[in-house]
Copies of this chain bind each other. A is one copy, B any other.
Amino acid sequence: MTAPDETLPHFHAIIPAGGVGSRLWPLSRAEAPKFLHDLTGSGHTLLRDTWNRLQPLSGADNIMVVTGRAHRVAVIEQLPELTEANIVLESEPKDSSAAIGLAAAILHRRDPDVIVGSFAADHVIGDAPAFRRIVSEAVAVANAGYITTIGIAPTEPATGFGYIKSGAALAVEGAPHAQLVDCFVEKPDLATASAYVSSGEYFWNAGMFIARADVLLAQLAETRPALHHGLIRIAEAWDTPDRDDVVDATWPLLEKIAIDYSVAEPAAERGRLAVVRGDFPWDDVGDFSSLAKLLSGGRVGDLAILGEGARVLADSSSGVVVSQSQRLISLIGVTDIVVVDTPDALLVTTRENAQRVKAVVDAIKQAGRNDLL
């Protein structure tokens, strides 16, 4: 997979592999979260696909994975090339500022000139070469001192994603698609989203951040000094025998906050955030409606089927079937349906209601049935 000529000097990829993906329950579970599933039928988990996309840019030795202790074995099984130095295990989830910030702080101690790029373990990207060209541009922009994100050129007025409003073009060599970020906007309604798409100024926020580690950490120190302090303390002990003691004493106290709020938005306000426009297909596969769309190649009205050895008998039905049991699944005359069949839980809903799946997960939590989560 490695194409050494693509490898970027001082570039170190970070893969935060954390989120459960509640809206994909009961497929995605605490013990088998979204990133450990093959949602595209590629034959690889999303985590492995993420690794394969990044390895040509960083080399196998320069990809760090931040994940929960419970997922250590599964992650190593997926990524046998992953070195011990590149595994960061969280004793409990502390959101993206802590996860990415700790990785950046560790890597910065090892290489003061490191440029880190953080890429979710559970997104789907359709054109890996185009992705890598854009990351290369983003690394060039990061080298120039900006915290840099990749904005996906929207192909439709999606209401399920946040948007990035781009501003003035940046003159950075090797980065023809770089602009300053004007601001971030939350998930819009359909009319607003349509206006965004027409304007050409708005991109989807794919949550990818590329920056010199020192720049990223300085921004964090400015907006979240306590969190920054804790992360530096852990990073200083990381490659010493004190690691476990310091982690145990420090990690539980860290603030839980998304990196969007601790780093990206403040940086945008101060004119330090850049965006590189990416034209490659991207999806965060946030719910079963997205999954249905992804599996049917963007068409509607089809029945998409996911699952090894799935046995489905369908008559005038559309939507998505996810089969993890070996049972025969028969659908008759159900449209835009979502059926997720697992050994201990079955979900039946519609694409329209796909966002409401999280409510079921919350109800199960409240009922204390953690075995089903």
Seen from chain A, the residues whose Cβ lies within 8 Å of a Cβ on chain B are: 26, 313, 315, 327-334, 337, 339, 341-350, 352-353, 356-357, 359-360, 363-364, 369, 372
- In the complex, what residue of chain B is closest to A319 when comparing beta carbons? B348
Q: Out of B26, B330, B349, B352, which one reaches A347, CB within 8 Å?
A: B330
- CB-defined contacts of A343 to chain B, threshold 8 Å: 327
B349–A332 CB distance below 8 A: yes
A349–B327 CB distance below 8 A: no
- How far, in Å, is A306 (CB) from chain B's closest CB? 15
- In the complex, what residue of chain B is closest to A338 when comparing beta carbons? B332
- CB-defined contacts of A357 to chain B, threshold 8 Å: 332
- CB-defined contacts of A369 to chain B, threshold 8 Å: 328
B331–A348 CB distance below 8 A: yes
Query: Knowing A313-B363, A360-B315, A363-B313 touch, does A353 contact B333 (C-beta < 8 A)?
Result: yes
- How far, in Å, is A358 (CB) from chain B's closest CB? 10
- CB-defined contacts of A350 to chain B, threshold 8 Å: 332-334
* A359–B348 CA distance with the chains assembled, in angstroms: 22
Please list the 10 inter-chain residue pairs (A to B) with the smallest Cβ-Cβ separation, ordered nearest first: A333-B353, A332-B349, A328-B345, A332-B353, A330-B347, A329-B346, A330-B360, A332-B356, A331-B348, A327-B346
- CB-defined contacts of A327 to chain B, threshold 8 Å: 342-346
**Chain B CB within 10 Å — which of A332, A347, A348, A352 has the most?**
A348
Query: Knowing A327-B346, A346-B341, A348-B348 touch, does A360 contact B332 (C-beta < 8 A)?
Result: yes
* A344–B337 CA distance with the chains assembled, in angstroms: 21
Query: Knowing A328-B372, A343-B327, A372-B328 touch, does A334 contact B313 (C-beta < 8 A)?
Result: no
A344–B328 CB distance below 8 A: yes
- CB-defined contacts of A372 to chain B, threshold 8 Å: 328
* A327–B345 CA distance with the chains assembled, in angstroms: 5
Query: Knowing A313-B360, A315-B360, A360-B315 touch, does A333 contact B352 (C-beta < 8 A)?
Result: yes
Give 7 CB contacts A-B under 8 Å.
A26-B330, A329-B346, A330-B346, A330-B347, A333-B349, A334-B348, A334-B350
* A372–B26 CA distance with the chains assembled, in angstroms: 25
- CB-defined contacts of A359 to chain B, threshold 8 Å: 315, 332
* A349–B364 CA distance with the chains assembled, in angstroms: 25
- How far, in Å, is A340 (CB) from chain B's closest CB? 9
* A339–B338 CA distance with the chains assembled, in angstroms: 12
* A329–B359 CA distance with the chains assembled, in angstroms: 14
- CB-defined contacts of A348 to chain B, threshold 8 Å: 329-332, 334, 337, 339, 348
A334–B349 CB distance below 8 A: yes
B313–A364 CB distance below 8 A: yes
* A328–B353 CA distance with the chains assembled, in angstroms: 19
- CB-defined contacts of A329 to chain B, threshold 8 Å: 345-346, 348
